[in-house]
Amino acid sequence: MTKDIKLNRRFFMKGTGAAALLGGAAIGSSSSFAAGLGQSTPMSTGVNFDEGYNRVGKNSIKFDLIKMFNPGKQLDVGMGIADMDFRTMPQITAALKKRLETENWGYEIPPLDLPDNTVAWNKRRYNTDVPKGNILNSVGVLDGVLSTLMAFGKEGDKVIVQTPTYSSFFTTIHQAGMHEAENEMKLVNGRYEIDLDDFEQHVKDGARLFILCNPQNPTGNCWTADEMRSVGDICNKYGVLVLADEIHCDFIMGENKYVPYASLGEEYAQNSITYKSTSKSFNLAAHRTGYMFSDNREYIDKVLKGGHQRLLLNIMGMIASNVAYKHGDTYIDEQNAYLTKNAKFVEQYCAENIPLIKYKVHEGTYLAWLDCRELFEKLDAENKAIELTEYNKANNVTATDFFGVTSIKTYRTGDYMKEWFMDNAKIDINPGENYGKGGVGFMRMNLATNQKMLKLALDNIVKAIDTI
């Protein structure tokens, strides 16, 4: 029996997850990667990003579920849910088809080289040393965040988030029985900056957990090393644990750079846990796979003792993730080039054709944070939202949400605008209020589609505004 698969029961039970369990085979050599960031596999993606992929009728949330929630309305372009409308990397599809040929779905170990490929991806792309023995599986990033909150905090604790920020952070914090402490960022010359005084005040008020979003969703900031050290120093001083959600790390626009929080130095790495996944980078969200790691072994043990047991995940997702990290460099590079082109197209289009909407090419993620404050004002959106809410309360008008909960349909300003875009521009984009303080007047648009669909959405907005 080879060294790679000699797994006895004692070792199996002792392991911290598939990553720690499976030492895996060595990774093959690779060619040099652009910009001195590392190495990439010289393999053509075989994907035409300009072709896109029609997801209508395939049970997609972005298109099909949105249509279900808006009966009788036409949806030309879904741009709310954060996934992509491109064909999957063909090497992933081929690997999944091969696994389907084995007509048995009993318990099985994940790919033996997945831990090594995960470590190698982070090393060659970002020169980051991920401790292989300290990797834990998670059912997506939020699963890992929730386990960490419950392991390190208690009911009623405050968790710092920098708003506007990813809306599901709020849900996860509440699931843990905790409350968000919103450190609202400041918009300075078109880029968001951290309010350090406000951040430190939240810490002085007792917050001991901080969720860092890097790159930042929805603003698109790729935080610099100095920016992260400025908050990291406060966290280290007061004993605040940093939960670094870096799921968007592979989406970097143009010449911008992603800096892993754990790469800032030993004191930062020892006081943080990082969360990643192939689900965003390779559009594998339906597979529900992710991972988390820390240089601090005591932190990993504490998460495990808190009940986080994810030794095995969905085998198809783990196979897909493994292939992605083995062969995905060229795919990511070409994808980023295409998404950068999309972002520049939207910036130019808005400047030339939609003066009521301001947008500057973001640094990371594939999400555009649109400044629609002038459009909101022109439509009197705030008062319209109030009027609709009062009418619905008086007439018992209800709506059912994603989780099947029915209640009186109330409107925030952004909710009114979301419906306005659907009714008049036939597109679905997200209200800024979803992302906490500082979101009013903004809308989040997903740019991960082909340019034909992107232009259709923008043309529709122009037509809608022309009717005002």
Tell me the pLDDT of the chain (468 aa) as tens digits.
333 333 333 222 333 333 333 333 333 333 322 222 222 333 456 899 999 999 999 999 999 999 999 999 999 999 999 999 999 999 999 999 999 999 999 999 999 999 999 999 999 999 999 999 999 999 999 999 999 999 999 999 999 999 999 999 999 999 999 999 999 999 999 999 999 999 999 999 999 999 999 999 999 999 999 999 999 999 999 999 999 999 999 999 999 999 999 999 999 999 999 999 999 999 999 999 999 999 999 999 999 999 998 988 999 999 999 999 999 999 999 999 999 999 999 999 999 999 999 999 999 999 999 999 999 999 999 999 999 999 999 999 998 887 889 999 999 999 999 999 999 999 999 999 999 999 999 999 999 999 999 999 999 999 999 999
Specify the pTM.
Answer: 0.89
Query: What pLDDT does 442 receive?
Result: 98
d(CA 333, CA 33): 10
Residue ranges of domains in the chain: 61-87+331-466, 114-327
Assess contact for 388 and 399: CB atoms under 8 A: no
d(CA 282, CA 330): 12
Query: What pLDDT does 158 receive?
Result: 98
State the chain's maximal CA–CA distance in angstroms: 73
d(CA 276, CA 247): 5
The HSE-up count of residue 246 (CA atoms within 13 Å, CB side) is: 28
Question: Per this entry, what is the length of the chain?
Answer: 468
CA-closest candidate to residue 245, choices 270, 210, 206: 210
d(CA 311, CA 1): 23
Q: Please report, as a single letter, which amino acid is at residue 343.
A: A
User: How many other CB atoms are there within 10 angstroms of residue 424's CB atom?
Assistant: 17
Strand locations in 59-182 (E): 77-78, 135-138, 158-161, 179-182
Query: What pLDDT does 44 receive?
Result: 55
Query: What pLDDT does 311 receive?
Result: 86
d(CA 57, CA 64): 6
Domain 61-87+331-466: CATH architecture, name and number where available: Alpha-Beta Complex (3.90)
Query: Judging by beta carbons within 10 Å of its beta carbon (0-12, 13-18, 19+), is residue 44 exposed, middle or buried?
Result: exposed
Assess contact for 433 and 414: CB atoms under 8 A: yes
Q: Which CATH class is domain 114-327?
A: alpha beta
- Looking at residue 423, what DSSP letter applies? I
d(CA 12, CA 425): 55
Query: Which H or E run contains 34?
Result: none
User: How many other CB atoms are there within 10 angstroms of residue 441's CB atom?
Assistant: 21
d(CA 460, CA 454): 10
Backbone angles phi, psi at 241, to 5 degrees: -75, 130
Under 8 Å CB-to-CB from 280, ≥6 apart: which residues?
Answer: 82, 83, 247, 248, 250, 251
Query: Which H or E run contains 64?
Result: none
Q: Please report, as a single letter, which amino acid is at residue 226.
A: D
d(CA 408, CA 123): 50
